Amino acid sequence: MRIFISYSNPDLSIVRILANQISIWGEVFFWNQSNIPSEVAWEQIYNWIDNSDIVIVLITGNTVVRAMSVGQEVGRAKAMNKIIIPMVQNHINPSEMGFLSGITYQPIEVSNPRPAIARIVKLVENYHNDQVKNINSLALLLIGVAFLIFLSGNGK
């Protein structure tokens, strides 16, 4: 599973805690950790979003002040029909959430982010487990089909 985190740079300490916690469930991409010098910035970011299963968006007062980049990332994630999990600082007015308006979000207290991060980790874990179940079901179905084809070929 691949996970992209959108955020404002002053919130990097929260992002690092979150990334560390969810990295057991998949590859985590965010600008300060994943960027490749010499590559075009927006091409890298859009590639991470396009190839992600989940996009987590951290919205704090820092994000609202510098919303253009995060807004572009959220717009791309919506256009690509990605699962978007917003984490929104308690005092942010829902009208300031832009593209995320109307999406249920996880409140986060920036001075104590661990409870919100724990809830997001659980959501990512559940999504991962659902993906594994779907893959296992598909594998069993394919084995069954292959077996039926094998049996029908042996009856000739």
Answer whether 4's CB lies under 8 Å from 18's CB: no
User: Tens of pLDDT along 3-50?
Assistant: 999 999 999 999 999 999 999 989 999 987 877 777 788 899 999 999
In this predicted model, what pLDDT tens digit does every residue of 45-95 receive, in sequence order? 999 999 999 999 999 988 877 667 888 898 999 999 999 999 999 888 877
Q: What is the pLDDT of residue 154?
A: 67
Which of the pair, 4 or 138, is modelled with greater confidence?
A: 4
- pLDDT of 137 > 80? The answer is no
Domain 2-129 has CATH 3.40.50.10140: yes
Cβ neighbors of 29 (< 8 A, separation 6 or more) are 2, 3, 4, 5, 48, 52
Distance CA(11)–CA(67), nearest Å, equals 13
| More confident: 135 or 104 | 104
Q: What is the reported pLDDT for 15?
A: 94
Integer angstrom CA distances of residue 9 from 35, 48, 102, 141, 149: 13, 17, 25, 46, 55
As a whole number of angstroms, the distance between CA 120 and CA 57 comes to 11
Residue ranges covered by each domain of the chain: 2-129
The pLDDT value recorded for residue 156 is 55
| Predicted model pTM | 0.77
Residue 67 has a pLDDT of: 63
Q: Output the pLDDT for position 135.
A: 75
Contact 22, 126 (CB under 8 A): no
